[in-house]
């Protein structure tokens, strides 16, 4: 069994999808939560000076989405042809765009001036959530491929969990098809175990 180590900060952020992927696949991993005081020393040693970083038997992988795609390919959570893999990439990118809008607001505006909230709540969030919810409805409880859990489902559920913290409420609470995916992923054995033992965030 290879050894897996995930390094990320002491909150969900972009580390959470990687942690969820490994938990879903039922593999043990070292959950290395990096404290701010240790960051200046670690940063120059990283491929792009950023986290998350996944190490598999000491081989480093970076960039959250490519890591999830890679883990998807080794855990059979991808499509069976190029079009299916395109569908998976596409919905993961849509979720990431929503995450970026919210993170931009949170880190640039909320913390400084608490501005732009109305725009986020009235435009960006309903726009992206509507698209994602519609797609989940046509895929019958999956995000990318009807009848098959893919890495995009796991990525999305972890990102929505992080967004919950940023917004202070569950933005998908009224999205019944996204909720179905969330329940499925969160109740998988490995994820359930991870969630039970997950350390509380320190932001
Ligand atoms: N494209 C990268 C990914 O998707 O993993 C972005 C990673 C990234 O922005 N990481 C941030 C980081 O390491 C935390 S979310 N920030 C600290 C820094 O750049 O010094």
- 8 Å CB contact between 11 and 175: no
Residue ranges of domains in the chain, CATH in brackets: 4-76+189-197 (3.40.30.10), 82-186 (1.20.1050.10)
10-residue block means of pLDDT along the chain (203 residues)?
Answer: 96 98 98 97 98 98 98 98 98 98 90 82 96 97 97 98 96 97 98 96 81
Q: Which helix (H) or strand (E) holds 152?
A: helix 151-167
Q: Where are the beta strands (DSSP E) in 42-129?
A: 53-56, 59-62
Helices 151-167 + 16-24 axis angle, to 10? 140
- 8 Å CB contact between 17 and 9: no
Instruction: Give the pLDDT score at 114.
Output: 75
Task: Output the CA–CA distances (angstroms, integers) from residue 25 to 28, 94, 149, 200, in the order listed.
Answer: 9, 24, 12, 22
Q: What spacing in Å lies between the alpha carbon of 44 and ligand 1's midpoint? A: 13
Nearest CA to ligand 1 atom 18: 50
Beta bridge partners of 200: none
Instruction: Give the pLDDT score at 17.
Output: 98
Instruction: Give the pLDDT score at 148.
Output: 97
- Residue 113: other Cβ atoms inside 10 A: 8
In short, whether 52's Cβ falls inside 6 Å of ligand 1 is: yes
Do you know the residue count of the chain?
A: 203
The closest-lying atom of ligand 1 relative to the alpha carbon of residue 65 is 4
Instruction: Give the pLDDT score at 185.
Output: 98
Task: Output the CA–CA distances (angstroms, integers) from residue 172 to 17, 32, 123, 180, 194, in the order listed.
Answer: 17, 29, 15, 11, 22
Instruction: Give the pLDDT score at 115.
Output: 76
ipTM over 0.85? The verdict is yes
pLDDT, tens digit (0-9, with 9 covering 90-100), for 145-200 = 999 999 999 999 999 999 999 999 999 999 999 999 999 999 999 999 999 999 99
């Amino acid at each position: 069994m290879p050894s897996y180590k995930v390094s990320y900060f002491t909150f969900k952020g972009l580390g959470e999808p990687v942690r969820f992927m490994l938990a879903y696949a039922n593999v043990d991993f070292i959950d290395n939560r990096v404290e701010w005081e240790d960051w200046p020393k670690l940063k120059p040693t990283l491929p792009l000076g950023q986290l998350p970083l996944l190490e598999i038997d000491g081989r480093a992988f970076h960039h959250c989405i490519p890591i999830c795609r890679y883990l998807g390919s080794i855990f059979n959570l991808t499509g069976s042809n190029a079009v299916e893999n395109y569908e998976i990439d596409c919905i993961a990118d849509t979720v990431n765009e929503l995450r970026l809008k919210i993170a931009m607001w949170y880190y640039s505006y909320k913390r400084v001036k608490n501005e732009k909230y109305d725009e986020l709540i009235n435009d960006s969030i309903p726009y992206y959530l509507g698209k994602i919810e519609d797609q989940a409805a046509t895929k019958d409880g999956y995000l990318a491929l009807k009848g098959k859990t893919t890495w995009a489902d796991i990525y999305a559920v972890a990102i929505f969990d992080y967004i919950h913290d940023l917004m202070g409420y569950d933005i998908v609470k009224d999205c019944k098809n996204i909720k179905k995916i969330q329940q499925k992923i969160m109740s998988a054995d490995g994820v359930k175990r991870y969630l039970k033992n997950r350390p509380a965030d320190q932001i």
